[in-house]
Chains A and B, each alone.
Chain A
Amino acid sequence: MDDTRTKYSFYVERSALEVTDRPQKFLAAFAAVLDHSSYGLALELYTRLSTKCSRCAAACQLYQSTEENRDIPCQRSELLFRVYRRYFTRTGLLKARLTNGFTLTDDYLDEMAEAFYRCTACRRCKLTCPMGVDHGLVTHLARWLLAEVGVVPKALVVATREQLEGVGNTSAIPPNALKNTCEFLEEEFQDDYGVNIKFPIDVKGAEYVFFPAVSDYLLEPDTLMGNAAVMAVTGGSWTIGTGNYDGINYGLFYSDRLMERIVQNEVAEVRRLEGQKVLIGECGHATRSAWFIPTFCGPEAPPVVNFLQYTAEQLRRGNIPLKPDRITERVTYHDPCNIARSARILEEPREILRAICTDFVEMTPNRTENFCCGGGGGTVSIDEIRSFRTELMGKRKADQIRATGASLVVAPCANCKKQLKEVLEDHHLDDVEVVGLHDLLLKVIDFGDELKIDTGSTDESSTAEEHSEQSGGD
């Protein structure tokens, strides 16, 4: 496998190296995508107007760390623009006739693969481009085209395979194990909080069908308990479907073809359970891919609600009783790119945090301009590039967190959480902890008497953190 590693630092499957006629296949895929999808107009415009002003370089946290040309967003996008101009515009075809111009080669494809997987598609540079070029869109497209010639990080393809052709979710958790985990968490509620809170499974006709990042069942039980607690105190009607309980959609990171299938499976589960809405847990890319539900399933498809939106709304209505003791440690909030860059979820988490914390501080910059955790675009799943992710990509993030002086970083996103934990570890920020928003909320929810277990007395103030975390084969 050494050869793979030298060729692709992000490590593809061996079969990717056996694909022949890659340039030709890449161009065939490009042509098909231009025919059937909506990228053509954007490419046509970008190739005409791109002015190479380099403002994007100043916005890119990777370029700021590496100062390598290939990490300038505009330079990277130009890799794909060049192919588009040469093979799909009349002037390009004419130029090719007249000169010994550019030809797409295997080496060039490798260069693209490397470049487009060094980008997390955080789209921060889009905000600074005077010409409105969305380099995130270009990365998204380029990765799809590369996937059609077999170039996909192994971690992503293995997870998606498991989701679409294996057990049914990216962490390969069978339904029985899911039920066991939920029962275990219900016991935790009883033991630690003395309350009777259920994780409803396969309830027909519930308002919300719940899709967290499935890895939360293995790695972030506190977040899930926070979710369940909010549902319990607000009397929300929700369910987890055993047919599909995974909000993760790596199609967003490398293939619209797969994204379409995964989104449709999600909606199919909601329909099977006769649910009304899709409720996404604390996960940025799961939310963003669910926002594509109307794209793939039409305007009649169930609406999408992120758990932060649900909780903020209930808090506004006064439906979430809180204990008088708030969280006193200094807390800061990390905006996950997939929900914040487009300004769709910015204030909800802040409303919640201001209500439950006494010392909430903002990172600078924040909201739409926040820096990516450094593991976006699926790169967080690729363990082989950890040092790249934490040292180069995550440097700005680490500086940002350090500057706040916070001891808790709230990141309502499974990907961001994993990446931030590694960033903190590799930058020796040992006294800072990464948590989900609902983990914190769980600590201050006042369950009142209704949910209390009648038998025996329980100590309400027992620590919530002491969970024996289940570990899975991720």
Chain B
Amino acid sequence: MATWLEWARGPIFIGAFSFMVLGYLRHLLVTFFEIRRHLRRAGDRTIPTLQIFVATLNWLFPLRKLKSQWLFSATSILFHIAILVVPIFLAGHIVLWARGTGLSWPAIPNHLADVLTLVAIVTAVALVIQRLSARATRNLSRFQDYALPLLIAVPFVTGFGVMHPGVNPFSYDATLLVHVMSANLLLVLMPLSKLSHAVLLPGAQYVSEIGWHWPSDAGSKVAIALNKEGEPV
């Protein structure tokens, strides 16, 4: 078991983490260069930057959006806070980073981490229940929309078990292995699934605006490409 664990948090973690970083980097670079390319050939390059900036901030920190569908919104906001804060600021994780890379940063107290972990688990399950219970979401949802919140809950459940062996009926090592491996799986899925919104969201409002900024001759060029020049309306 110890060897398995070493393997999971050694080479597999490094591979999964690098995959996540490189995948996200790819998304960022592609988006950045595509924005530049589209903007360069656009007929109208005036972009309402301030308006887009405000809209972007309003969605990155969506407290003002709580008004509509407040239960769903509040669940979602709590879920995001919990799953972002705990993995990054847990003392136990920071120790591992310090051991591996020499980097370290301030940690949150463990009892706060416990609370946030429970929040993450409860909200993940709540999100799935809300998805199932509202008609519109139920109809829209794909497999990943149910699977991802539940999969995200797994490292939190097992993490809680690792931190509190007294309440954990399973062996410590087995729980830790599931913890590390489920997190590894998530890292790999991050750039491949809708979780890519973690890096793409800040640019989304801007990209939506770019969609309306066409090259001045886009229409004529499409007509030429389709052999429809001079075709009657």
Contact = CB atoms under 8 A, between A and B. Distances in A.
B232 A165 contact: yes
Interface string A163-189: 011000000000000000000000000
Contacts of B164: none
Nearest to B212: A137
B59 interface: yes
Contact of A35 (B72, B139, B225): B225
A82 B75 CA distance: 29
Contacts of B232: 161, 165
Nearest to A138: B211
A38 B214 contact: yes
Interface of A: 28-29, 32-33, 35-42, 44-45, 48-55, 57-58, 63, 67, 69, 72, 74-75, 78, 126, 128, 130-134, 137, 148, 157, 160-161, 164-165, 255-261, 292, 294-299, 342-343
Interface in B178-233: 194, 196-197, 200-201, 203-205, 207-208, 210-223, 225-226, 228, 232-233
Contacts of A54: 134, 136-137, 140
B36 to A, nearest CB: 10
Contact of A165 (B65, B197, B217, B233): B233
A48 B194 contact: yes
Nearest to B41: A38
A32 B233 contact: no
A132 B55 contact: yes
A42 B226 CA distance: 23
A173 B114 CA distance: 74
B44 interface: yes
Given A33-B218, A132-B55, A295-B44, 7 more contacts: A48-B196, A49-B196, A49-B200, A78-B140, A133-B208, A137-B208, A257-B228
Given A72-B139, A134-B211, A38 B38 contact: yes
Interface of B: 27, 30-31, 34-35, 38, 42-46, 48, 51, 55-56, 59, 62, 65, 68-69, 72, 76, 134-137, 139-142, 145, 194, 196-197, 200-201, 203-205, 207-208, 210-223, 225-226, 228, 232-233
* Main SS at interface, chain A: helix
Given A52-B141, A161-B233, A42 B210 contact: yes
Given A48-B194, A292-B44, A41 B34 contact: yes
5 contacts: A32-B222, A38-B212, A52-B142, A257-B223, A259-B219
Nearest to A91: B192
Given A42-B211, A131-B204, A343-B51, A36 B222 contact: yes
Contacts of A164: 233
Contacts of A57: 136
B204 A45 contact: yes
B68 A37 contact: no
A368 B194 CA distance: 29
The 3 closest A-B CB pairs, nearest first, are A132-B204, A42-B211, A260-B219
A41 B31 contact: yes
Contact of B208 (A37, A53, A78, A132): A132
B226 A132 contact: no
Contacts of A39: 211
Contacts of A50: 194
**Which of B139, B217, B218 has its CB near the most chain A CB atoms (within 10 A)?**
B218
B225 A32 contact: yes
Given A45-B203, A51-B145, A137-B212, A295 B42 contact: yes
Contacts of A260: 216-220
Contacts of B215: 36-38
B226 A32 contact: yes
A343 B42 CA distance: 22
Contacts of A296: 43, 216, 219
A343 B50 CA distance: 12
A342 B46 CA distance: 14
A329 to B, nearest CB: 33
Given A38-B211, A38-B212, A55-B69, A294 B203 contact: no
Contacts of A28: 226
Contacts of A131: 197, 201, 204
Nearest to A157: B233
B56 to A, nearest CB: 8
Contacts of B141: 52
A89 to B, nearest CB: 12
A51 B74 CA distance: 16
A52 B140 contact: yes
Contacts of A55: 68-69, 72
Nearest to A28: B226
Given A48-B200, A55-B68, A33 B222 contact: yes
A90 B25 CA distance: 18
Contacts of A53: 72, 76, 137
Contact of B207 (A32, A45, A126): A45
A41 B69 contact: no
A131 B194 CA distance: 10
A52 B128 CA distance: 12
A256 B219 contact: yes
B222 A132 contact: no
